[in-house]
Amino acid sequence: MSLNLPALLARHHGDPSRLVQILRDVTAAEGYISPERITEVARALGVPRGRVEGVVGFYAFFSSEPRGRFRVLFSDNITDEMAGSQALRQRLLDAFHLMPGEVSRDGLLSIGTTSCTGLCDQGPAMLVNDRAIGRLTPARVGAISSLIRGGVPVDQWPDNLFVIHSHVEKRERLLSTALVPGEAIQAAIARGAAETIAEISRSGLRGRGGAGFATGAKWAACAAAPGPTRYIVCNADEGEPGTFKDRVLFSDHADLIIEGMTVAGFAVGATKGLIYLRAEYPFLVEPLLAVLEARRRAGLLGQDVGGRSGFSFDVELHIGAGAYVCGEESALLESLEGKRGIPRNRPPFPVTHGYLEQPTVVNNVETLVAAAFVARQGAEFLRAVGTPKSPGTKILSVSGDVARPGIYEYAFGVSVRQVLEDAGATDPQAVQVGGPSGTLLAASEFSRRIAFEDVPSAGAFMVFGGTRDLLAVVDNFTRFFAHESCGFCTPCRVGTTLNANMMHRIASGQGSRRDLKDLAKVSQVMKATSHCGLGATAGSPVVDALAKFRPAFARRLKSLEVLPTFDLDEALAPAREATAREDAGAHLGEELP
């Protein structure tokens, strides 16, 4: 596809804050962002070249080097690995005689991995030129191989390859209650802005992204903050492995999300909303744009929303470029402003200095849906179910070793055991609640309850059966954090790599008791000194596993107290592969002469 850069920049109004979106369009047209393009974009936007180059280097879906015309990324989330993604990836690599990350000599294909595609309920999954394909099988991979070999453009591939299912298995209040578009807005207008915030506060609504901050307090602080412009930001960057509820909410209930954003806009006096959608969900873009346009035609976005003179509010869609850290609200704001997604120092907080340094409410998708219902139905809509400290419901993304993976909505206070029974888990030994940064629960803890006062969760609920190797699970999690660390602060940049290396040694049977001590120590240092929540929680799976499954670690260790951290024989593996040597003479013995 040829690229008309001046026309592209004009579509984005030459606005440097849209740099991430501009670079996405360049990538879509040319497959990568060449050094020449970096220079041209910087000059046209009037920003330093280093800023553009820094953004290109920060996001996983950008590259300054040529990639294959077909760019295949297999999800290496743990649930995809459990479903056989590694063997399928190797099958495709072998078919084209490629190594991971290598571009074929003819420039046709490159094959790599990505952290998570948000398709944990229908894995193994992959992205091909940013388009998602789930339910991979050897037959599907074979068909994809033939399409690639034939050079068939991805937009001409069979539609059935790209079908994504919702898999809603249990509905409670949010997923079973109908709301006519505009009803919540009219109710908020009738109640008034201040009283709408008061009603949200009375409902006890807390942020559903995991932190659980009081939504009413956040809205009130934004409304009271000085500033000429206010913004509502919908955080739809659900990059936590094991989480896919926002995907289903956008697919099936996009109107509710926009309704909640508009109610928030009215309550705090905002005129603009921004949706930050994760890059792995391109199939949601066109339907979402259609919903936004339909609401504009219906008078539910734009000027005089809902017939209220003077109330103007519209919503703009931004798409990420592959950075888990952008799920953190201040990093998300940096990305929205066209920068690298480095979390900000706080205070000040987004409610006073958010998007473009203006007062900003950043809410999770599920939070905004709940807010729409509270605006329409009143505080008792949430208060009627749940617990006193956790009113309302929680939507869980259930995956792993269960008969029925999918979306489950429960009133807060549901036991872990109840969720396992409903999802058809027959022999669970552990559950990871809230994703890798959450809580690892052993079987003895399955009576614990999903609630802010017991086991909080952003939504992920990954189940590991009795035959699973939990050290392999923790190994996957540590690799994930090492890959996704933004590198800004030393404790996280170094600590996540150290943990990943030590955990890999232990999982492969090469670790020592010293590694166990160092794992715990490094995790503590990261928690105490990291710049943001990624580093603070990156050691959580290690700490939980050591506390609850220590015998599994002990059984895998070598007997020595201290072992060398460098394995020369393993380091020679690439040379053996290059020379097709696997005989005894190509390996080092246990002892060097």
Sign, Cα dihedral of 302, 303, 309, 311: positive
Residue boundaries of the structural domains of the chain: 5-58, 70-162, 169-383, 393-468
Query: In which band, very low, low, confident or very high, does the pLDDT at 417 lie, cut at 50, 70 and 90?
Result: very high
pLDDT digits (tens, 9 = 90+) for 127-139: 999 999 999 999 9
Report whether pLDDT(593) > 70: no
pLDDT digits (tens, 9 = 90+) for 188-222: 999 999 999 999 999 999 999 878 999 999 999 99
For 360, the enclosing helix (H) or strand (E) is: strand 360-364
CATH of 169-383, one of 3.20.20.80, 3.40.50.11540, 3.40.50.300, 3.40.50.10320: 3.40.50.11540
Give CA 71 to chain center in angstroms.
Answer: 20
Q: How many helices (H) and strands (E) does the chain have?
A: 25, 14
pLDDT of residue 393: 98
Q: How much is the pLDDT for 558?
A: 76
| Triad 245, 338, 528: Cα angle to 5° | 65
**70-162 and 169-383 agree in CATH topology:** no
Token reading at 581: 């040597």
Candidates 3.90.1260.10, 3.20.20.20, 3.10.20.600, 3.90.1150.10; CATH matching 393-468:
3.10.20.600
359 in Cβ contact with 225 (< 8 Å): yes
- Of 136, 138, 156, the C-alpha closest to 147 is 156
Break the chain down into helix, strand, coil percent, rounded to 5: 50, 15, 35
Query: Which pLDDT band holds residue 582 (cuts at 50, 70, 90)?
Result: confident
Distance separating alpha carbons of residues 485 and 494, to the nearest angstrom: 9
Closest C-alpha among 467, 346, 331, 450 to residue 397: 450
Report the Cα–Cα distance between both ends of the chain, in Å, rounded. 59
pLDDT of residue 578: 67
Token pair 């905004």 in the structure block, residue:
368
Tell me how far apart the alpha carbons of residues 573 and 99 are, in angstroms, rounded to a whole number: 14
Identify the CATH number of the domain defined by range 70-162.
3.40.30.10
Kind of pairing between the strands at 314-319 and 360-364: unpaired
Q: How many CA atoms lie within 13 A of 236 on its CB side?
A: 34
- pTM for the full model? 0.93
Half-sphere exposure of 549 (CA within 13 A, CB side): 24
**pLDDT for 186 beyond 60:** yes
Q: Which residue has the higher pLDDT, 588 or 77?
A: 77
Evaluate if residue 560 carries a pLDDT over 80: no
